[in-house]
Structure formats: structure tokens, C-alpha cells
Amino acid sequence: MVVTLIGYRGSGKSSVAGPLAERLGWSWVDADVEIERRGGLSIRQIFDAEGEAGFRRRERAVLAELLAGHRLVIAAGGGAVLDAETRPNMRRAGPVVWLKARPETLIERIEADTSTSERRPNLTSAGGLAEIEKLLAIREPFYRETASVLVDTEGRSVESLVEEIAAAVRRHLEQERGGGTV
């Protein structure tokens, strides 16, 4: 089984993935970091050289491989749910957890992350809060469709998020074993 964390950039996927994996006794991977590692390029460099379509092709391939794993927590890229093949693959692999926050919170978190501007491009000409609001309008239906668990990250510690998600994973495992009700 794989637990996939989805949500917009700044929602907490990378911050939660490691502690969640440790709690579960599993491994974890940040899909964006894995894409960069395999390509030897930052996401920004991939976008510059291949455009968003090239990056999404790389993302689809890496996620297809990772989603075939076992006892793995994946911090998926914010736009991974845009791919029509990836969404059902996520659901088949195990629980998909949507980490959600208000646009104003997301922009604060993104601006506080000093590596974001170096590694990641703006995805619209607007940038900033306007970009977040525009992309959330596009992506939220896909997050909703894909997620089996919704977790609001507003004002919460990583520890409390990990507790909530770990409990949801335990329920999922119990249901898989026939110990729970559907």
C-alpha cells in the first residue's frame, strides 16, 4: 500500500511525509525531488527546457513507478492530479490524502520557503496570490475527485496532522483486512 499526499504547493506535503512515514514504519519520497534527482535538473530548469508538458510527462512516469511501491508515503507535486492516468493510479495504490489550506496561508508558506523561487517556476503570468487562486480553481475538483481523506492544515502542527493521517491509514488497513465496515 502507498499513501499519497496531494495538495497545492505549500500545503505541507513535504513537511508531513517524513514524519508520517516514520510513524507508520514506512519509507517516503518527495516526487518533485525524485524528478529533479533523476533528471539532474531543477523543476524550473525542466520547465524552461521542456515546458510544463515535458515536466508533466516526467512526473507521470515517476509517479507510475512510485505508486507501484509498498509501504511508501509519497509527497506528490501540486499539479500531479491534473493527469488523467495518475489520479486513478493514486486511488488504487492506497489512501490519497488532500492537505488543504486557504490561498492566503499557502502564499505565506511559499514565500517563507527560500528554495521555492530558485527551484520552482511561476505557473501563470500573475504569480503570487492571484496564481494560487487561479490554479486552485482548476485543481480543486481534481483534488476532491482523487482524495479519500481531506485534512485541513490551517493552524495545525505537523504532529497533529501526522496523528490524523496515521489514524486514517489504520482505518484503511483495517477495511482492507475485512476488520472494518465500509
Predicted confidence at residue 173, as pLDDT, reads 86
Spell out the residues 6+ positions from residue 53 whose beta carbon is closer than 8 angstroms to its own: none
Predicted confidence at residue 118, as pLDDT, reads 56
Which CATH number fits the domain 2-176, given the four candidates 3.90.180.10, 3.40.50.300, 3.40.920.10, 2.40.50.140? Answer: 3.40.50.300
CA dihedral 153, 158, 30, 141 (to 10 degrees): -10
Please say whether the beta carbons of 3 and 170 come within 8 A. no
Using CA atoms, how far apart are residues 118 and 22, in angstroms rounded to an integer? 29
Query: What is the pTM for the complete model shown?
Result: 0.91
Which residues of the chain are modeled with pLDDT < 50?
A: 181-182
Residue 71 has φ and ψ, to the nearest 5°, of 55, 55
Q: Where are the domains of the chain?
A: 2-176
Predicted confidence at residue 119, as pLDDT, reads 59
Using CA atoms, how far apart are residues 74 and 29, in angstroms rounded to an integer? 5
Q: Which three cell numbers stand for residue 21?
A: 512515514
